[in-house]
Structure 1
Amino acid sequence: MVARIPAFPTFLLLSAGLLASCGKGQDGELGVAVIGNASAINERGARLSSPAQLIRSATTEGLVGFDEQGRVVPALADRWIVTDNGQSYIFRLRDGTWPNGKRITADGAAAAVKKAIAALRGTALGLDLAAIDEVRVMADRVIEIDLAAPVPELLTLLAQPELGLPFGGRGIGPMAVKAGEGGARVFTLIPPETRGLPKQAKFAKRARPLRVTVAPSAKAVALFTDGTVDVLLGGKIDTVPLAGRIGLTRGNVRLDPVTGLFGLVVDRADGFLGDSANREALAMAIDRDALLGSFNIGGWQPTTRVVSGDVEDDLGTIGERWQGMTLDERRSQAAARVAAWKGAGRAIPTLNIAMPDGPGSGLVFAALRDGFARIGLSVRRLPEGERADLRLVDIAARYGRATWFLNQLSCAVQKAVCSPIGDERVAEARRAMDPQARAALLAEAEAEITAANGFIPIARPLRWSMVRSGTTGFAQSPWGWHPLPPLAWLPK
């Protein structure tokens, strides 16, 4: 009962390459660069940056985890069963000890699960977990998670880094971390017998340390280019032109088949943006084909939908918006709305768009600026994190169902513009026992949230990595997720 993995788009298949079974760095440390802020190593709490999620998952196990292909694998729980009605998951914990030397027991694990869930309240991931009714102890090493209604993606959710279970503020692996040279961190696999697992023959020979450097995109790419590292993780659309310049021709770039949200969120709903029809005018003005074309990535398709059509529970009743209208017709209608607003004596100040730094963001902004200018609006680019009217969001889905998309745009998460009615339909779907009824409610929710025009979709996100030929432990992932532990294992 795991969420369906989305199919590979054509352009991802073309970029994929078979990795050899052995390669550079296997006799010593494997160098890994992660695009991001070096402060990620010290991040705590439930709201983590992408590099901090990577570090958390390597050092703090949850009940389950992910392998390199995005499949759910055992972690603190070495086995589990799901009841026939899909409303109860029973986990048996492995034999082992917490960091303070005490045995891992159901009491401690259940308390840690409850604490992790409580810390996520008010977040989209917290809404994903809202159907959890009770976490209870069944036996010394057995816990049960009861659900108000079936959640087919529960195991995928429990594998998220935020559901890692520290004890006394510390995780129990599967990796240990220490400071390295030049600001890097060295991650090493903890011997299985130390973690309560069977001893593995030749463990010392098969396990290699990882030298991980979290750095801004230009530095991270430079580390890969000069051979300092063999793996580069964390690439998004803001940095994808860097990958195209140096890696695509050599076959080092790996593109992940992710779904998710890539577009503009309305963060200030007053004045011109206080009207849903005006917000729709912005969505109508964008030439998505031209925007994506500026990246020259074959097969990357635009979208005007809030929910990806690839999700398992999409009924197909909601299609792309403005079908039958040309771009010129859309822009003409949008320009008329802008003119009517101005004609009533109401000024429209320059709209501020907050977005990440990077050459890819520059291409996105240029396309947005051109589209909005065609309907009589001017825009200004602000750094990511600054208060703005619009914000570029680029988030990969954590599981392949409509609820992920709708929870991201809920009133609990997006404060400026949301749909309370859409949230009500999602809440009803969460309690629905029949899959068809649930899907119908989610389709209604999508229609309501789309009509609010608080989010302007552009395309599916892009996630890219660079991997030197012969490096093992890496695979393309539907979640854009590349855990560190598999990279530390050498092939037998």
Structure 2
Amino acid sequence: MFGRATAAALLITTASCGRRADVGPVVVSVIGGAPQLPGRSRARLGEPERLLIDSLAEGLVRLDASGQVEAGVAERWIVTDEGRSYIFRLRDAHWPDGAPVRAAQVVALLRREISARSGNRLAPYLTAVSSIVEMTPEVIEVELARPRPDLLKLFAQPELALVRDRPRPPGGAGPFRQRAERGGGLLLAPALDPDRDPEEPGPAPEDDVLLRGERAASAILRFVERQSDLVTGGTIADWPLLRAANPAPINVKLDPAAGLFGLAVVRRDGFLADAANRGAIAMAFDRGDLVASVSSDWAARETVLPEQLDSAAPPANPGWSTVLPEQRQTAARARVSAWRLANGATPTLRLALPGGAGGTSLWARLARDLYGIGVRPVRVAADSTDADLRLVDEVAPYDSARWYLSEACASCSDAAHEAIEAARLADTLDARARASATADRLLTDDVAFIPLARPFRWSLVALRLRQWQPNARAWHPLNRLRADTN
């Protein structure tokens, strides 16, 4: 929690347009710890690490300001063999020590990251990659055992950025180089082409970025006092702090984030042993009230898949969704009452939720709805191993039904798990689409995941950042903020 002095400062801040003169480096606060390049393990990178690695390094491709794929270390590519072969030609890129990037180095780094032993969170979605080989010093080929049209979106994620540990300094061929530590942050300057004409003007101070990782309260306060240009990485957990600070509406930006926001069933015993009982819990929540209490731009959801994506069928609707919203609490209460009579006890459910003011607000509404049907809720920490239901709040790295189904399947039925695995191993796109549709129906009928809404992601954006764009990936690269120069 933030201190009383910080809370008071947030509450008495006068709203303003946040207009800062377009001079000096762009000052960015990302919510989280101090940013640093990750080591060998990229199992779970926080937003500060993801932004830093995307700035100092890049993969074969990367994401632009709109969340779409653009060139990275590869300047162009072609797809052949019905989507089973990707051939990349590298641009004239250089490592931080000035050495040229070569295909053999890229091959070694990519092989390391997609290995199942790497711990990279994207590795489970790259099992179709059968080989990565050097064709020439400037060309590599990625061969797939199964066609994957979504491969580029995965390769564009910061988790697959190419970072060389040695020789020093560590880093990659990204758009920035780290210059110094300043004022509790990292000063990043545009990477210079070592072959550029020395007569050409270099980057201006306004092209630099001062990157900080800090608590939400500090980041918001810094912004409303006009000492920064961007606060990014905001989630539901910190939204009440932003509302208390009352910044000008023109500076508050929400991303139409694609992904999962709901409760995964992690224990299937007691009251949750029966799918009909799990359905009663899903039916109890007033999603309309939940999202309206936060923002009119937040969308509720009742299905695991947000849309058809690459499935052979539209999103599967849960059986409980046929009950009229005004009758759902009554129907759920009847189910709980029957279980209580049969078992002689009131069901208790432990909910693992994030901390912070936003987590408490979320808890208040979920607990209210559970009490309303006769269930006793208990709040536990987000990382608690003693939970029955756990909040999943994840932005999708790419638009595939398999990602949604795999992430939602914390403890789903054997049949649903087998269908998800069949989608992974499918030899054709049609077979994959059919298996995904089957998995969606089985997981939905099993009520292994309780959808609530889409992920909630917010930023505070100064008017000088004319390139900032809301997007489905909720991703805002630091070289795509102020001007189209990097």
Partner AA of 1:171 in structure 2: G
Equivalence map 1:81-92=2 (5 Å): 81-83=78-80, 85-92=82-89
CA distances 1:76-123 after superposition (whole Å, capped 9, x unpaired): 112111115111100112234444555422221111101010157676
CA distances 1:406-431 after superposition (whole Å, capped 9, x unpaired): 12134xxx3xx123322332333334
| Contact map agreement 2:22 2:464 (CA 8 A) in 1 | no
CA distances 1:423-475 after superposition (whole Å, capped 9, x unpaired): 33233333445544432221111111223322211011111111111323321
Partner AA of 1:401 in structure 2: S
- Whether 1:59 aligns to 2:60 is no
1:408 alignment counterpart: 407
- Alpha-carbon distance between aligned partners in 1 of 2:156 and 2:134, rounded to the nearest angstrom: 20
The counterpart of 1:137, out of the listed 118, 124, 134, is 134
- Alpha-carbon distance between aligned partners in 2 of 1:156 and 1:129, rounded to the nearest angstrom: 11
Q: How far off is 1:68 after superposition? A: 1.2
- Whether 1:189 aligns to 2:186 is no
The farther-off stretch of 42-51 and 143-152 is: 42-51
| Contact map agreement 2:112 2:118 (CA 8 A) in 1 | no
Q: How far off is 1:197 after superposition? A: 8.0
**5+ unaligned residues in a row in structure 1: which ranges?**
1-22
SS in 2 for 1:486: coil
Partner AA of 1:474 in structure 2: W
The farther-off stretch of 172-181 and 156-165 is: 172-181
- Alpha-carbon distance between aligned partners in 1 of 2:142 and 2:472, rounded to the nearest angstrom: 26
1:31 alignment counterpart: 27
2:176 alignment counterpart: 175
| Contact map agreement 1:94 1:197 (CA 8 A) in 2 | no
- Cα RMSD for the two superposed structures: 2.8
| Identical amino acids, percent of aligned pairs | 36
Partner AA of 2:162 in structure 1: L
- Distance 1:317-1:186 versus aligned 2 partners, 3 A rule: closer
1:70 alignment counterpart: 67
- Distance 1:26-1:63 versus aligned 2 partners, 3 A rule: same
- Distance 1:92-1:293 versus aligned 2 partners, 3 A rule: same
- Alpha-carbon distance between aligned partners in 2 of 1:202 and 1:311, rounded to the nearest angstrom: 46
CA distances 1:132-176 after superposition (whole Å, capped 9, x unpaired): 121112122211111122211111100111101122352223222
- Alpha-carbon distance between aligned partners in 2 of 1:266 and 1:393, rounded to the nearest angstrom: 10
- Alpha-carbon distance between aligned partners in 1 of 2:461 and 2:351, rounded to the nearest angstrom: 33
Partner AA of 2:264 in structure 1: V
1:202 alignment counterpart: 201
Q: How far off is 1:299 after superposition? A: 4.7
2:332 alignment counterpart: 334
- Alpha-carbon distance between aligned partners in 1 of 2:186 and 2:346, rounded to the nearest angstrom: 49
1:116 alignment counterpart: 113
The farther-off stretch of 356-365 and 321-330 is: 321-330
- Distance 1:33-1:94 versus aligned 2 partners, 3 A rule: same
Equivalence map 1:301-316=2 (5 Å): 301-309=299-307, 311=309, 313=311, 315-316=313-314
- Distance 1:264-1:120 versus aligned 2 partners, 3 A rule: farther
SS in 2 for 1:391: strand
| Contact map agreement 2:147 2:429 (CA 8 A) in 1 | no
- Distance 1:442-1:490 versus aligned 2 partners, 3 A rule: closer
The farther-off stretch of 46-55 and 120-129 is: 120-129
SS in 2 for 1:41: coil
- Distance 1:482-1:86 versus aligned 2 partners, 3 A rule: same
- Alpha-carbon distance between aligned partners in 2 of 1:419 and 1:125, rounded to the nearest angstrom: 23
Equivalence map 1:47-446=2 (5 Å): 47-83=44-80, 85-99=82-96, 102-118=99-115, 125-168=122-165, 170-172=170-172, 173-191=174-192, 193-194=193-194, 201-205=200-204, 208-246=207-245, 249-295=248-294, 297-309=295-307, 311=309, 313=311, 315-316=313-314, 318-319=316-317, 321-345=319-343, 347-348=345-346, 350-387=348-385, 388-410=387-409, 414=410, 417-432=411-426, 434-446=428-440
Q: How far off is 1:357 after superposition? A: 2.2
SS in 1 for 2:433: helix
- Distance 1:118-1:84 versus aligned 2 partners, 3 A rule: closer
| Contact map agreement 1:131 1:148 (CA 8 A) in 2 | yes
The farther-off stretch of 333-342 and 144-153 is: 333-342
- Distance 1:333-1:385 versus aligned 2 partners, 3 A rule: same
SS in 1 for 2:331: helix
SS in 2 for 1:180: strand
- Alpha-carbon distance between aligned partners in 2 of 1:215 and 1:266, rounded to the nearest angstrom: 32
- Alpha-carbon distance between aligned partners in 1 of 2:434 and 2:291, rounded to the nearest angstrom: 32
Partner AA of 2:454 in structure 1: R
| Contact map agreement 1:472 1:490 (CA 8 A) in 2 | no
Q: TM-score scaled to structure 1, two decimals?
A: 0.86
Number of residue pairs the alignment of both structures matches: 462
| Contact map agreement 1:184 1:211 (CA 8 A) in 2 | yes
- Distance 1:272-1:250 versus aligned 2 partners, 3 A rule: closer
- Alpha-carbon distance between aligned partners in 1 of 2:196 and 2:151, rounded to the nearest angstrom: 25
The farther-off stretch of 335-344 and 369-378 is: 335-344
SS in 1 for 2:36: helix
- Distance 1:333-1:128 versus aligned 2 partners, 3 A rule: same
- Alpha-carbon distance between aligned partners in 1 of 2:75 and 2:199, rounded to the nearest angstrom: 16
- Whether 1:465 aligns to 2:459 is yes
| Contact map agreement 1:30 1:229 (CA 8 A) in 2 | yes
2:16 alignment counterpart: none
- Distance 1:65-1:317 versus aligned 2 partners, 3 A rule: closer
CA distances 1:165-196 after superposition (whole Å, capped 9, x unpaired): 122352223222255344222122111x13x7
| Contact map agreement 2:280 2:320 (CA 8 A) in 1 | no
- Distance 1:264-1:464 versus aligned 2 partners, 3 A rule: same
Task: Identify which of structures 1 and 2 has the higher relative contact order when contacts are C-alpha pairs closer than 8 Å and 6+ apart.
Answer: 1
| Contact map agreement 2:311 2:437 (CA 8 A) in 1 | no
CA distances 1:179-225 after superposition (whole Å, capped 9, x unpaired): 5344222122111x13x789894332376221112111111110111
The farther-off stretch of 397-406 and 165-174 is: 165-174
Q: How far off is 1:383 after superposition? A: 3.1
- Distance 1:268-1:439 versus aligned 2 partners, 3 A rule: same
Q: TM-score scaled to structure 2, two decimals?
A: 0.87
